[in-house]
Structure 1
């Protein structure tokens, strides 16, 4: 996967070798585990605010009696055990791509380890990875809205007079959250871990106090109660899965955020704190509803006595702000990966910390997310209505992850076929049931994340396809470099200095070089044909960064490799080069870029509306000058026309 010039990246088969050791988070196990508590578990940690409530008093109400309470709590326990603990914590997190996780990292890992070429099987896998990424964007919009809104709604439990202020307060909190993104979260992030630690301890304490009054709720650990729930009322039990799955939202974040903290700290935090605290709280809510069925209206806040409800609202609001921050940061990270892997046009990426890895800010993504989150809150009005829209994107992503895992365990890890089939079938039963249950929520709001996913999928695939077509057309018209050097080097006037021509294809003559010679009729003493390649691994070590070929007569072919989690700093990399003549000095170096203008083609490679969409995305892509950190006063852009 390649980037270069102002045009698109190269085709997806242009991958680099696998060596290197990747990135490993630094710090003590306890410190990293505390950090994981603050960032990784924010989403799933705030699920108790609304999961039980929506299951019993949501769009498909359940009778608040012993059989239904035991059945729901049993479903939550076994789902957390099998899906979150088994599938994600102990299986999926083993599939780290040089320390990084997430759908795109998993896709790149499978492609690299299996040597998958551009065949039908590989294309299907790529489509799955892109679809999971598209669905993720829908999830990114709903999570902050439902989390913050459900916490602030606790004010109405404290005092009914607060009800009219819930919506304005929630919107003000979210606007503030998005506004501070430009300043970075490095400083405030240090408080995330301790705040969430207090939050999870509070969950456990409130749950324990409630369980003490009805210890018989512990019978819900028996899976027969979940089975009895389906036997008792199959239709309602199936529909209830659409709300029960709210207890699992955030499971994908465990895998996606692995690169920030590492596998072990995330596993330790889950096993010793998060999972016990969540289950104790769900059991406590079940015990409360056994004692007082009317508490189903908001069992989380009703767990606390009246005097402690306001502090609980404040603590829960802080927790949801942290959970929202984690989702926003995740959106930035996924967009950065997608840009590097050639699935999105270049976007402005600002680094908000000189030391903290992953502290980036994407203005376009930030403001688009803020607008959509506020639109969601105004459209749906309350967390119960948002819950109807929540879940389908999450379960769709979970289902896709299972499909990709099936390929991984069989083709990469070479597990025995019976074991691979049995494990995949188990996960598909759970994921499939939850997804199908959420499909019933489409008319009530589930259409929204699907619409967002469809738009995102269309944009991602249009950019990838258009990029491949453009690269193919440029290659067709490219002159062989050897012929060019022989004919031009002896006839053109040579001037002092170095010229770097950035090109997305590591063969042929860059269009910018041809245009420069045509219009200016000179060649520099040293000519560098530079291609920046993005590998299918998150980090490329410095000793594998450069590949240089001397083409003779002052011409050099240079390929610069970066991982999909790294920033391409071309001037910094050039300063490390000593294999092609004198040291690179920026004041003696000119960078030549080609800016393509698309023309209608007699043999269109895709539908006209997609060509127009691709052309619009190309025009609005971030300048290659800023993306590759080129010195602004040393860049020359030359236009060219391309038919796709």
Structure 2
């Protein structure tokens, strides 16, 4: 019930405010006294029923990817279960990082269809294209929806002022040219700025703030709908018959009014957000709220508005009205002032669904290496999908303001928005049919039926959108090409880098066999090597050894891996293993963290890693078989407290030239209240005990000595270069990737490494 209440304010504000501009974006000349209002309402009723209710609420919501939704969630399902992803699938890495945290790595038996799609590489590129294209439509929707929703509500304020001016001048007619039309744009811009400024509070708080507004709005529009049906035209209920849709198609073969279906598709604006926002809430809350509240309220609202329009077009003395098809005109006069104010608030809330959906899509793209690195802030400790991305939020605000100021017309924005909606739905339909066949393993008949039934409806609306391409839909194309280029270039560059890392990683034997040949020397200290791969030795380190034959007495290969859980228990955070025989003193550490775990500061991180390796050395001798993972390489070691068996930290704090020593087994955070205060962590072995073997004590002592000698941090820094004679497309993608890589955020694994101890190893990847 709590999630259902929040979903009203976040997800369903979009669907609930669509009546503001669905009928209002239909040209007045196309509303004729020939039951045209009945025909449009019939289309709205069946579109809401088939697309929003049947397709999304009952079918698509079942295809979640670990409680995430959207086109990239469907693509992620296909990548894992049908192996259509273009990034090399390192199965061993998945098994390592998911070991012992309750996330089993599952595979299914192959069917003929799955085998055929996995075999043909072209199908992989086509599926990726669909996923990227669908994500671009969600981003475009997030830009256009706030603009059209707020601008449409502001236009209602404009009409209210016009009516008051008419009364003040005691005139019965009003010519719109005599009144300045500048009021909606500044009001809309002010509301947009406030809307995007609230996003940092997260879906949880925003849902509670916005839900009362939408609930009052739903009761108001449903009441107005019932009032209009009984007052103006009770026969409007007959319009649910599909016969009226047939009449519309029969009478508009010449495409005279056929293009107005571009406005009708706006009635399901927000249905895609039901699926894309799945990570912010739950499937049950979204489905229950839509079936029991949103769907019947929208039907009543559209029925009442259609009844008012049907009555208005039959009255010749009302033909001089401007925008009588706007929702505000169907509201009784004595509550119209309240309606205008509430519509302004609801329109701002209605944009929330697409904004949060955009955040979810960007997060999924980041996980699959299809978007440049941006800061993702998780606003909930319980629900993974509730995220806020500051960089994207402010970019959406700038673009929405630009659309509002540039177009300042709901009709033109509606043409672009309708195209974005129907294209996004078509992508979901195509990907969903593949999920039915490849993941759910249903018959081809079931998959094809889903594609034909829903795809044909959406294709009909797409054809009407294409007819209005020159009237505003061109902006969506420009925005989509820009977004799609960024995503494609980043994915291509990431793919090439990852392929290079996997193909050029070397074995431990290479390092040990090459050392005598090159005369590699071991220098005192500990070297932390940061790498994305969890098996083998990364290529940049072999490049470093080949050109500078020396490395530290103790090497630790560190990999950060995110898991789809809120927190990883401190005693299950580190996976420690050896690389090669004991005498090499080379270790591997996989740091597993949840999406709400913060990255530790350098001093604390270094302390925990060294203590974990010390504990690993101690446990390795005593109970290897019960503590190692199935592949026999890693031991789960957590954040150690006073019960640790290996070493104890000695905290050395220097302040104003004086030095004090404290012996502590707990984590001590530096307050940083003085710039001259410094902290250095040393380690001591516990007192001699019969439980610790001599060989273990000697190795631990060597680890402590290496720590005292100093620490260095090595990171790979790759540069992609295009091979001579490559195509223009390849050169453009690599150039775009290089620009994005230089200007996006640094990897989180960089931590707060001091520059004096950081060594970046640059490599040129020729692709």
What's the offset of the Cα at 1:55?
2.5
Question: Is this contact kept in 2: 1:288–1:303, CA < 8 A?
Answer: yes
Given the alignment of the two structures, is residue 445 of structure 1 paired with residue 472 of structure 2, yes or no? yes
Q: In the alignment, which residue of structure 2 is the partner of 1:10?
A: none
Given the alignment of the two structures, is residue 555 of structure 1 paired with residue 586 of structure 2, yes or no? yes
- Correspondence for 1:226 among 230, 238, 245: 245
- Distance of 2:210 and 2:759 partners within structure 1: 45
Given the alignment of the two structures, is residue 190 of structure 1 paired with residue 208 of structure 2, yes or no? yes
- Distance of 1:40 and 1:200 partners within structure 2: 13
- Counting only pairs closer than 5 Å after superposition, residues 414-429 of structure 1 correspond to structure 2 as 414-429=441-456
1:91 counterpart SS class: helix
Question: Is this contact kept in 2: 1:44–1:248, CA < 8 A?
Answer: yes
CA RMSD of aligned residues (A): 3.2
- Which range is displaced more, 409-418 or 252-261? 409-418
1:153 counterpart SS class: helix
- Distance of 1:466 and 1:307 partners within structure 2: 61
Q: Taking structure 1 as reference, are residues 569 and 227 closer, same or farther at Cα in structure 2, changes over 3 Å only?
A: farther
1:390 counterpart SS class: helix
- Correspondence for 1:114 among 77, 82, 99: 82
Q: In the alignment, which residue of structure 2 is the partner of 1:509?
A: 538
Q: In the alignment, which residue of structure 2 is the partner of 1:141?
A: 143
Given the alignment of the two structures, is residue 168 of structure 1 paired with residue 186 of structure 2, yes or no? yes
Q: Taking structure 1 as reference, are residues 371 and 567 closer, same or farther at Cα in structure 2, changes over 3 Å only?
A: farther
- Correspondence for 1:302 among 329, 353, 366: 329
Question: Is this contact kept in 1: 2:530–2:749, CA < 8 A?
Answer: no
What's the offset of the Cα at 1:472?
3.4
Question: Is this contact kept in 2: 1:149–1:167, CA < 8 A?
Answer: yes
What's the offset of the Cα at 1:558?
4.2
- Distance of 1:127 and 1:139 partners within structure 2: 18
Instruction: Using CA pairs under 8 Å that are at least 6 residues apart, name the structure with larger relative contact order, 1 or 2.
Output: 1
Question: Is this contact kept in 2: 1:484–1:509, CA < 8 A?
Answer: no
Given the alignment of the two structures, is residue 240 of structure 1 paired with residue 260 of structure 2, yes or no? yes
- Counting only pairs closer than 5 Å after superposition, residues 266-277 of structure 1 correspond to structure 2 as 266-277=286-297
- Counting only pairs closer than 5 Å after superposition, residues 165-564 of structure 1 correspond to structure 2 as 165-182=183-200, 186-213=204-231, 214-234=233-253, 235-293=255-313, 294=318, 297-351=324-378, 358-475=385-502, 477-488=504-515, 491-497=520-526, 499-504=528-533, 506-512=535-541, 515=544, 521-525=550-554, 527-532=555-560, 548-552=576-580, 553-559=584-590
Q: Taking structure 1 as reference, are residues 545 and 274 closer, same or farther at Cα in structure 2, changes over 3 Å only?
A: farther
Question: Is this contact kept in 2: 1:501–1:510, CA < 8 A?
Answer: no
Q: Deviations over 1:538-563 (max 9, x none)?
A: 88976997655421322233455678
1:346 counterpart SS class: coil
Highest Rg: 1 or 2? 2
Q: TM-score, normalised by structure 2?
A: 0.73
Given the alignment of the two structures, is residue 82 of structure 1 paired with residue 50 of structure 2, yes or no? yes
Question: Is this contact kept in 1: 2:150–2:348, CA < 8 A?
Answer: yes
Question: Is this contact kept in 1: 2:577–2:589, CA < 8 A?
Answer: yes
Q: Taking structure 1 as reference, are residues 568 and 515 closer, same or farther at Cα in structure 2, changes over 3 Å only?
A: farther
Given the alignment of the two structures, is residue 622 of structure 1 paired with residue 745 of structure 2, yes or no? yes
Q: Taking structure 1 as reference, are residues 349 and 116 closer, same or farther at Cα in structure 2, changes over 3 Å only?
A: closer
- Distance of 1:342 and 1:204 partners within structure 2: 44
- Distance of 2:718 and 2:749 partners within structure 1: 17
- Distance of 2:250 and 2:592 partners within structure 1: 58
- Distance of 1:121 and 1:573 partners within structure 2: 44
- Distance of 1:346 and 1:37 partners within structure 2: 31
Listed as ranges, the gaps of 5+ residues in structure 1 are 1-29
Q: In the alignment, which residue of structure 2 is the partner of 1:4?
A: none
What's the offset of the Cα at 1:249?
1.1
Question: Is this contact kept in 2: 1:289–1:299, CA < 8 A?
Answer: no
Q: Taking structure 1 as reference, are residues 243 and 110 closer, same or farther at Cα in structure 2, changes over 3 Å only?
A: same
Question: Is this contact kept in 1: 2:5–2:208, CA < 8 A?
Answer: no
What's the offset of the Cα at 1:432?
0.6
- Distance of 2:447 and 2:188 partners within structure 1: 45
Equivalent pairs counted in the alignment come to 607
- Which range is displaced more, 39-48 or 631-640? 631-640
1:371 counterpart SS class: helix
2:557 counterpart SS class: strand
